[in-house]
């Protein structure tokens, strides 16, 4: 049975803010970190290690998309929502964020199979006559795999990303806080 998320502890929020700050800096956005006054979320001893010495690869729009992917499902959803705002954002940014609609990286190898087995309480070999571990589609919340039942029927198996409810529960207040700061 899935875990029902509860209130997010302030220490968890601070830890997540540190992760967000580190990802933003790693992808070349120390200016955003400074503008949002997030420098204080980075532990003093780590501050010197995370500030980049040179600009990372790719243009700013591409790096933003990559940062949102690195931050996970909630931030990918946020990027997908931003991609619909061609009236507010530059065309280059909208085009790059549109890639979050259908080019999201899949789960790590084996994680979908492990999730299915855990949720359904049986090994894949008992659940399906055939299961393709390579997804046919991957999105922010789930990914889809081809499989064949023992009856011979071809099916699509949708696998939610692990702990999606907990991740969203933790990230939504942080996104709201970042929006207020912005």
For the chain, give every domain's residue range: 10-104+164-181, 111-160
Q: What pLDDT does 2 receive?
A: 45
Among 180, 144, 176, 5, CA closest to 75: 176
For residue 176, the model assigns a pLDDT of 86
Residues of the chain with pLDDT under 50: 1-5, 44-45, 48, 50
User: In whole angstroms, what is the distance from residue 50 CA to residue 80 CA?
Assistant: 27
Longest alpha-carbon distance in the chain: 60
**Consecutive H or E run containing 142:** strand 142-148
pLDDT of res. 139: 87
Q: Are 115 and 159 within 8 A, CB to CB?
A: yes
Q: Rounded to an integer, what distance in angstroms lies between the CA atom of residue 143 and that of residue 122?
A: 20
Q: Which pLDDT value is given to residue 131?
A: 97
pTM of the predicted protein model: 0.77
pLDDT at 96: 96
Measured between alpha carbons, how far is 175 from 164 in angstroms, rounded to an integer?
Answer: 16
3-state SS assignment for residue 78: helix
- DSSP annotation of 160: E
């Amino acid at each position: 049975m899935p875990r029902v998320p509860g209130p997010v502890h302030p220490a968890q929020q601070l830890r997540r803010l540190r992760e967000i700050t580190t990802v933003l800096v790693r992808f070349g956005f120390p200016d955003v970190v400074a503008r949002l006054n997030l420098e204080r979320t980075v532990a003093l001893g780590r501050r010197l290690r995370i500030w980049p010495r040179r600009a990372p690869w790719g243009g700013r729009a591409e790096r933003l998309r990559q940062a949102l992917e690195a931050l996970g499902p909630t931030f990918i959803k946020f990027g997908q929502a931003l991609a619909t705002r061609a009236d507010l954002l530059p065309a280059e940014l909208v085009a790059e964020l549109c890639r979050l609609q259908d080019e999201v990286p899949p789960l790590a190898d084996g994680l979908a199979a492990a999730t299915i087995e855990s949720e359904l309480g049986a090994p894949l070999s008992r659940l399906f006559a055939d299961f393709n571990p390579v997804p046919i589609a991957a999105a922010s919340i789930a990914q889809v795999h081809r499989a064949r039942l023992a009856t011979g029927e071809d099916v699509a198996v949708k696998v939610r990303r692990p702990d999606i409810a907990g991740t969203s529960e933790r990230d939504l207040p942080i996104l709201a806080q970042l929006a207020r700061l912005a």
